[in-house]
Structure 1
């Protein structure tokens, strides 16, 4: 009976919070300043990471750029400097925990305390389960998920001490729904979304209000990692479009950033529509890209 009464008391709050959320859709959100903030971006030598670095450079942030590709990270750093930003570039293997920890120590000693962490580095292998090699599966999780733990453990303590910071998880729409021949990638991005949600709740439970969290979830992005992607329902996104959406989400402290924004409607339908209806929608999407199929070889 007590639980029933508590539910009745909660109902008015639920209605108020829902109406408040709907009202906020029509009110422009206040954008915070990131001028002078130390921003660390992993995977900054290419794609979304590179374009995100450019956007932060325009906003006069101090940049710390990580990437395994020396030439890529140097090119990104050069352009950021041209845009007027102070930049520190490090060659870091985000699949290697010890490399992450040792590089984090160098950043603290040579640059200062990171206040915005963008966990962007990622790998993708377009193949079915049998054509995906065991080391490729391991590396997918090491870079796409485990690296988020190591970087966050390295830089979060000072953020918590200062009650100020922002942790950004670059995930994917594939972290909310499965895609054939991206089994390892989808699994890792589901884990990345879970990391973001659990970290967000953990910080709230600890009463730490000054550290914000954001999770970026775009559909296919034209980064070159996936060859010739196409779909009937969603656009193939350009990296600059995604980077601008990410920056806008960070500046307005948006927790979940879908690109395009209406992808959220599909996820709502995914929770309520019957299985056959979802199968029809998946057929309508007609997602295609170049992939290696190995199951027939294994069955011989």
Structure 2
């Protein structure tokens, strides 16, 4: 018996429990799967033998394209056009979709505006899509997971929920909330002895089109990540039963640095190139968030 197993037994299993969930043979639903990381995660799940991959997106054209790509490769996929902020629409779509074993809450938006330049309408939209939808989408599928005592709820958060980023106060706040949602739900499932895992995905600079127009100087410790690598790592994390993924690993430096007194933490972030000034956030050719 390993030391970890011994400690887990002696502490009444207080340590985090890994509920490994193989993709093969299970039903998967991915929101925002018409493009970006969501599309790649859906395709990756199909390649690993998912029983069915259900695609949700606001764009019928993009959703249909993702489903067609999966089906053409021999997988099983279907799509639905769903606004994840519309509770009635989500509940109706969930009824049609049926039971889901692995739910990827991936849909998200970003405004990328200075705090004083942002509009309340834009802020509300960010919070609706990035936070409120987590409750709306998860609830109808979580019931079935609890009844079957098996499932995984995944939330695509962001390292912006760990590291403060200028010009993204609403986005960062929404991703802090997304991480809190995931962690609190995990604790609730554990306390109620339900074998339902939760996983928060926290990448930083990923080479997608989501942040086009939000030009910024990329901190030297945060390399721009390839979408394919991120999607593969995230699906690996589901199968391994992990609870959180921070990408790249250097984000952990800032995560741990929060234990420092605030002046030292700010100096530490400045040294790493994280706390850029607003002038530096004008970027260089090719820079992307």
Structure number with higher helix proportion? 1
Bigger radius of gyration among the two: 1
Q: SS where residue 33 of structure 2 aligns?
A: coil
**Conservation of the 8 A alpha-carbon contact between 2:153 and 2:199:** yes
Matches within 5 A, 1:124-203: 124-203=110-189
Secondary structure of the structure 1 residue equivalent to 2:23: coil
- Deviation, structure 1 residue 256: 0.7
Map residues 12-27 of structure 1 onto 2, 5 A cutoff: none
Q: Structure 1 regions of 5+ residues with no counterpart?
A: 1-11, 22-28, 292-300
Q: Is the 8 A contact 1:119 1:170 kept in 2?
A: yes
Is 1:235 aligned to residue 220 of structure 2?
no
C-alpha separation between the residues in 1 aligned to 2:66 and 2:117?
Answer: 33
2:164–2:172 CA contact under 8 A, matched in 1: yes
Q: Which runs of 5+ in 2 are unaligned?
A: 1-5, 284-289
Q: Distance in 2 between matches of 1:248 and 1:35?
A: 12
1:264 aligns with 2:249: no
- SS of 2:208's partner is coil
Q: How does 1:16-165 map to 2 (within 5 A)?
A: 32-61=21-50, 62-108=52-98, 113-165=99-151
Q: 1:168 to 1:32 in 2, by over 3 A?
A: closer
* SS of residue in 2 equivalent to 1:64: strand
TM-score (norm 2): 0.85
1:280 corresponding residue in structure 2: 267
* TM-score normalised by the chain length of structure 1: 0.82
Cα deviation 1:45-67 (Å, max 9, x = unaligned): 11110110111010111100000
C-alpha deviation, 1:191, in angstroms: 0.4
Q: 1:32: Cα distance to partner? A: 4.6
Count, aligned residues: 263
Q: 2:22·2:238 contact (CA, 8 Å) conserved in 1?
A: no
- What's the Cα RMSD here? 2.2
1:36–1:60 contact (8 Å) kept in structure 2:
yes
CA distance in 1, matches of 2:188, 2:231: 27
Matched, 1:219 2:204: yes
User: Conserved in 2, the CA contact under 8 Å of 1:96 and 1:142?
Assistant: no
Question: How far apart are 1:82 and its partner, in Å?
Answer: 2.3
**CA distance in 2 between partners of 1:97 and 1:168 (Å):** 19
Displacement over 6 Å in runs of 4+: none
Q: How far apart are the structure 2 equivalents of 1:212 and 1:82?
A: 31
Change in Cα spacing, 1:150 to 1:32, as seen in structure 2 (3 Å) is closer
Alignment partner of 1:261: what SS?
A: coil
* Deviation per residue, 1:233-280 (Å, 9 max, x gap): 201112111101101110100001111134223201122x23223222
The change in CA–CA distance for 1:203 and 1:102 in structure 2 (over 3 A counts) is: same
